[in-house]
Chain A
Amino acid sequence: MPSPSPRIVPCSEAALVVEFGDTIDEAINRKVLGLDRAIAQAKIAGIIETVPTYRSLLVHYDPLALSFAQLSAQIEPLANTVTTEPGSRRCWRVPVVYGGEYGIDLEEVAKARGLSPEDVIRLHTGGHYYVAMLGFLPSFAYLAGLDPRLASPRRREPRAVTPAGTISIGGVQAGIQCLAAPSGWHLLGRTPVRTYHPGREPVFLIEPGDAVRFYAIDPREWAALDQAAEAGEPVAELVAS
């Protein structure tokens, strides 16, 4: 069955959005990321930047360089022929201290899902995730690929502050949160990794489309890794996926 054509609409006089759907769906998100790559490769003059999300690609452009009609005409064939093949072949291995003060919701999530805390850690570290989008705050990574046995409705009462480095789950999504922020997700652990560090090159460690795996570390390793990350070390390990 041919998929419906994506919808291209103006978002402002200097941005348009290409919508592939209106649900959280990995196939839709793969198309968004595929179009993002295709547009980058096409090197269309006048495009300022693109913002991939779960279901759409936002394209910021200079209306003095090209009009909405001209840009949509260039994007339409790319959007109609986009592949859903994963683009990024790189994978980040991200260390996590699970439970205790690092992941205050681990026990509760385990109980609610009829699992032991060890099961939750095993299922969370066993997942093959990829970055569906980055948003909300600098480098908040929304990850697709959570084991359905861990899917948990968001908390009724969001927390006003959750710590930097929080590793959490919400609904069918998993997340890596770099900065302290309010959150309604469940906190399983913390990573010393700074996915975002304004004083480091690169400032942003992970790209939309990158693969992510988690591995558990002992709380005694935290201090040294945290210090190294603050000093600008990636701490997360880059491997071919």
Chain B
Amino acid sequence: MSKFAVVTVGPLTSVQDGGRYGAQRYGLTSSGAMDLVALAAANTLVGNPPAAAGIEIGPFPASFEVRAGSVRIAVAGAGREIKIDGHMLPPATSAVLAEGHRLDIGAARSGVFSILGIEGAVQGRPLFGSLSVTARAGVGSPFPRPLQAGDELELLEASTAPEQQLMFDQPMRADLRVLPGPQAGEFGEAFALFLASEWTISSTSDRMGYRLDGPTLSHLKGHDIVSDGTVNGSVQVPGNGQPIVLMRDRGTTGGYPKIATVIGPDLGILAQRRAGQTVTFTEIGIEEAQDEARRFAQMIRSLPDHLRAVRTGPNTDALHGANLAGHAVNAFDAATWQSTHDDEH
């Protein structure tokens, strides 16, 4: 086993996978990565199944260090600078970190959440099939809380597989597709106002919900309903008329009317919108939404087709040998790595 330590970390950084299913009837929410495409991309780069557990990193910088063994990593999602022992790693590229190597992930320059994918996935004890952290419920593994400086994760040793680059652009759109919510009828004309307006992401948004600022949406029958179930993407409207899109750490039930639901394929796009940025909503029907779900699943499945093995230098075998001996190889600047390696020894 390798040892991977958290050196510095901001809030909103936790182990997440595809989510936890089967416990919502007990009030335990599903959690999971805010951007499932980023999760799948990072996992694909390191040879994992698309929903395997990785480390979700919020908008702030984070750094890690390998304390024993070697670890293959890849970062996907928000745009940010990645450095291994001070050397830049190109975006969407895997790399092996050897013992003593430090991984510095800069603040997000675009988007909000990144996934640090780890070959062999984060190791832990699943609850209902998932390692995902739900901080409010004290659930998740190996730590039932967001990561803190000093935490050490036990990971599998990196394999000798070649490094990969993912030639794939994450889907982007500012016009998110919604289905009418189960209480859309309780809003009358406010439903049309919801669709016609531009909404600004509030700075109080988090993994539970993204609050939207815009015109006031009035309820026809008041803002209290008898609680019923919520889903990822439910757009609920509390008494102040400002909608909240429920995200992965939402409560399983809620007592505010739900005007709409952001479809699953567009929820990760919303997750990457920063406070102050705007979104609009377009209504689609259930059949189109389910077609989109199939297209989304197909896109995730086809990610490995967009991988390109990266040359690891003029003498691949020698570099692999170096890798095995505990030296990371930067796909695009093998010479730099070689010289670093020489300096060290």
Contacts and interface: CB of A to CB of B under 8 A. Distances in A.
A41 interface: no
A121 interface: no
B297 interface: yes
A10 B229 CA distance: 12
Interface in A50-68: 50-58, 60, 63-64, 67-68
Given A13-B264, A68-B286, A138-B137, A63 B229 contact: no
Contact of A67 (B26, B144, B231, B287): B287
A48 B24 CA distance: 10
B228 to A, nearest CB: 5
A15 B293 CA distance: 12
- Report the 7 A-B pairs with minimum CB-CB distance, sorted nearest first: A58-B229, A135-B253, A13-B289, A51-B229, A204-B26, A138-B28, A63-B293
Contacts of A48: 21-22
A15 B231 CA distance: 7
B25 interface: yes
Contact of A13 (B139, B181, B229, B286): B286
Contact of B231 (A9, A12, A52, A179): A12
A137 B228 contact: no
A52 B263 CA distance: 22
A14 B137 contact: no
Interface stretch (A16-24, A77-85, A88-96): A16-24
Given A24-B226, A67-B287, A68-B290, A51 B138 contact: no
B231 A19 contact: no
A203 interface: yes
Interface in B309-337: none
B127 interface: yes
Contacts of A17: 182, 228-229
Contacts of B287: 67-68
Contacts of A10: 179, 261, 286, 289
Considering residues A9, A12, A51, A60, which has the most beta carbons from chain B within 10 angstroms of its beta carbon? A12
Contacts of A49: 21-25
13 contacts: A12-B264, A12-B289, A15-B229, A51-B229, A51-B252, A63-B294, A64-B293, A64-B294, A135-B227, A179-B137, A198-B127, A198-B144, A203-B23
B218 interface: no
Q: Chain B contact residues (Cβ within 8 angstroms of A): what range?
A: 35 or more
B227 A54 contact: yes
Contacts of B253: 51, 53, 133, 135-136
Interface string A11-54: 11111010100111000000000001000000000001111111
A214 interface: no
Contacts of B182: 9, 11, 17, 19
A144 interface: no
Considering residues B24, B127, B182, B263, which has the most beta carbons from chain A within 10 angstroms of its beta carbon? B182
B233 interface: yes
A140 B27 contact: yes
A53 B128 CA distance: 21
Nearest to B292: A13
Interface in A186-241: 196, 198, 203-204, 208
B209 interface: no
Given A15-B231, A58-B228, A198-B127, A136 B27 contact: yes
Contacts of A179: 137-138
B225 interface: yes
Interface string B216-240: 0000000001111111111000000
Contacts of A166: none
B26 A198 contact: no
Contacts of A53: 226-229, 253
Given A11-B261, A12-B264, A179-B137, A63 B25 contact: no
Considering residues A17, A63, A139, A204, which has the most beta carbons from chain B within 10 angstroms of its beta carbon? A63
Given A10-B261, A12-B232, A53-B228, 13 more contacts: A11-B181, A12-B263, A15-B229, A49-B21, A49-B23, A51-B229, A53-B253, A55-B228, A63-B290, A68-B287, A134-B26, A137-B136, A137-B251
Given A19-B182, A139-B26, A139-B27, A13 B263 contact: yes
Contacts of B137: 137-138, 179
A14 B18 CA distance: 15
Nearest to A56: B228
Contacts of B127: 198, 203
A9 B289 CA distance: 14
Nearest to B136: A137
Interface string B228-269: 111111100000000000000001110000100101100000
Considering residues B25, B137, B179, B258, which has the most beta carbons from chain A within 10 angstroms of its beta carbon? B25
B185 to A, nearest CB: 10
Nearest to B261: A12
B229 A54 contact: no
A126 B139 CA distance: 35
